[in-house]
């Protein structure tokens, strides 16, 4: 169903493109009676959107929302004092497609209706809670967000109009840089040593991990209007679609602090606290390499089926883990200015 919905949106964009472009082809092929197809275009008036031919640059900004929500995680809340008689499970729905973007583009119109455009923009997704477990004395929460630099290579088809002119564009979306950042904070004040494994020793855990993806190619498209402010400056607004999934490549833990406290005195015990700066972790514990298959020869720290530790784990190289795909499909609105030369 998710795939069908995205294909439906893409199909709608392509249909609008075909409709606008077909109208221009017919209008060019059938000049009005008494006129010649080689007749020169009249000079455009002030504020006109006419005569698009030539080079232009855009600056734009916009906001996107998720095209399709999916389950990112399951939220677990229970009261340890009441046992499992008092608990709740609930799904967290979202994707990494929503957020702000801003950027610029350079384009060239071969004639009044057809052209190409190269856009580069910075994409900032909203922060989402992707994991949470809460019960008396313990909170374990994780949040994730993404930052990307994306390029769009688009074909442009513009309609007719004087001051106001419709247009559509579609083409390729290629991320050229960026990452997903996950932050996790655990607070264990139960006195049961849930984190440390030692009774009466509580802990605060602070983790920051950065994940990069493999090269990916997606689809971008938009339908919009330009409004002539002057001969060479236009205001534009558009409804846009960006369809993209990214497969994980590697993760690096850039922050891993474990502060241990006495549940009796409340004082920190520095000798038991751990951090990257203290050299408490091996390279393999701080880095993950994503693969499509894990077997007995893989460098895994724990058996994914039983949770048993791997006696052959090599801490000098990254740990192997199964790759997954991130969903960045989104629809949104952009506004901006176009400067013609």
* Structure confidence by residue, pLDDT tens digits, 183-241: 999 999 888 888 888 889 999 999 999 999 999 999 999 999 999 999 899 999 999 99
Check whether 318 has a pLDDT greater than 50. yes
Ramachandran angles phi, psi of 252, nearest 5°: -125, 130
pLDDT in the model for residue 46: 47
Per-residue confidence band for 23, with pLDDT thresholds at 50, 70 and 90? low
Cα–Cα distance measured from residue 313 to residue 80, given in angstroms and rounded to the nearest whole number: 35
DSSP per-residue codes, 219-275: EEEEEEEEEESSSSEEEEEEEEEEE-EEEEEEEEEEEEEEEEEETTT--B-TTT-B-
pLDDT in the model for residue 231: 86
pLDDT in the model for residue 22: 57
Check whether 177 has a pLDDT greater than 70. yes
Q: What is the mean pLDDT of the chain?
A: 83
**What percentage of the chain has pLDDT greater than the value 70?**
80
pLDDT in the model for residue 79: 57
**Region 159-169: what's the mean pLDDT?**
90
**Region 4-8: what's the mean pLDDT?**
52
Q: Are 193 and 258 in contact (CB under 8 A)?
A: no
Ramachandran angles phi, psi of 305, nearest 5°: -90, -45
List beta partners, residue 154.
117, 171
pLDDT in the model for residue 209: 95
pLDDT in the model for residue 42: 41
pLDDT in the model for residue 307: 73
pLDDT in the model for residue 154: 95
pLDDT in the model for residue 39: 39
Token pair listed for 244: 């993209």
> Which of 251, 258, 247 is CA-nearest to residue 325?
247
pLDDT in the model for residue 19: 58
Go through the chain and tell me how many residues it has: 341
pLDDT in the model for residue 92: 72
Please report, to the nearest 10 degrees, the dihedral formed by the alpha carbons of residues 254, 260, 261, 267 taken in order: -70
Rounded to 5 degrees, what angle do the CA atoms 204, 205, 208 make?
Answer: 150
- 243: buried, middle or exposed (CB in 10 Å: 19+, 13-18, 0-12)? buried
Per-residue confidence band for 40, with pLDDT thresholds at 50, 70 and 90? very low
Cα–Cα distance measured from residue 170 to residue 60, given in angstroms and rounded to the nearest whole number: 17
- Supply the Cα-derived Rg of the chain in whole angstroms: 27
Between 267 and 52, whose confidence is greater?
267
pLDDT in the model for residue 338: 96
Cα–Cα distance measured from residue 186 to residue 258, given in angstroms and rounded to the nearest whole number: 9
Per-residue confidence band for 24, with pLDDT thresholds at 50, 70 and 90? low
pTM over 0.85: no
DSSP code of residue 14? H
Cα–Cα distance measured from residue 102 to residue 114, given in angstroms and rounded to the nearest whole number: 24
List beta partners, residue 284.
none
Check whether 36 has a pLDDT greater than 60. no
* Structure confidence by residue, pLDDT tens digits, 65-78: 988 777 766 666 66
**Region 49-53: what's the mean pLDDT?**
65
- 36-45, 171-180, 271-280, 329-338: lowest mean pLDDT where? 36-45
Cα–Cα distance measured from residue 330 to residue 158, given in angstroms and rounded to the nearest whole number: 24
Q: What are the distances in angstroms from CA 288 to CA 195, 248, 291, 322?
A: 22, 10, 10, 10
Token pair listed for 261: 């406290």
Per-residue confidence band for 102, with pLDDT thresholds at 50, 70 and 90? very high
Three-class secondary structure of residue 24 per DSSP: helix
């Amino acid at each position: 169903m998710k795939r069908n919905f995205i294909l439906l949106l893409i199909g709608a964009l392509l249909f609008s493109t075909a409709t606008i472009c077909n109208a221009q082809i017919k209008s060019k092929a059938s000049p009005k009676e008494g006129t010649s197809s080689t007749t020169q275009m009249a000079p455009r008036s002030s504020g006109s959107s006419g005569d698009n031919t030539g080079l232009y640059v855009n600056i734009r900004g916009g906001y996107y929302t998720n095209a399709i929500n999916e389950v990112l995680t399951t939220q677990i809340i229970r009261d340890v004092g009441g046992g499992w008689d008092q608990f709740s499970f609930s799904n967290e729905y979202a994707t990494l497609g929503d957020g702000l973007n801003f950027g610029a583009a350079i384009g060239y119109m071969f004639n009044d209706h057809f052209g190409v455009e190269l856009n580069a923009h910075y994409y900032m997704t909203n922060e989402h809670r992707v994991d949470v477990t809460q019960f008396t004395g313990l909170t374990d929460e994780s949040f994730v967000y993404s930052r990307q630099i994306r390029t769009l290579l688009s074909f442009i088809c513009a309609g007719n109009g004087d001051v106001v002119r419709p247009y559509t564009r579609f083409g390729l979306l290629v991320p050229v840089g960026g990452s997903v950042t996950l932050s996790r904070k655990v607070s264990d004040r139960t006195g049961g040593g849930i984190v440390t494994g030692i009774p009466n020793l509580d802990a605060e855990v602070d983790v920051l991990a950065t994940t990069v993806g493999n090269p990916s190619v997606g689809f971008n498209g938009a339908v919009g209007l330009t409004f002539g402010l002057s001969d060479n400056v236009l205001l534009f607004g558009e409804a846009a679609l960006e369809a993209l999934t990214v497969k994980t490549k590697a993760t690096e833990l850039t922050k891993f602090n474990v502060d241990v406290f006495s549940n009796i005195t409340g004082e920190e015990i520095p000798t038991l606290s751990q951090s990257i700066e203290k050299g408490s972790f091996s390279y393999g514990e701080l880095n993950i390499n994503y693969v499509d298959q894990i077997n007995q020869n893989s460098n895994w720290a724990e058996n994914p089926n039983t949770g048993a530790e791997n006696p052959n784990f090599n801490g000098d190289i990254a740990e192997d883990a199964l790759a997954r795909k991130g969903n960045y499909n989104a629809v949104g609105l952009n506004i901006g200015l176009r400067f013609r030369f």
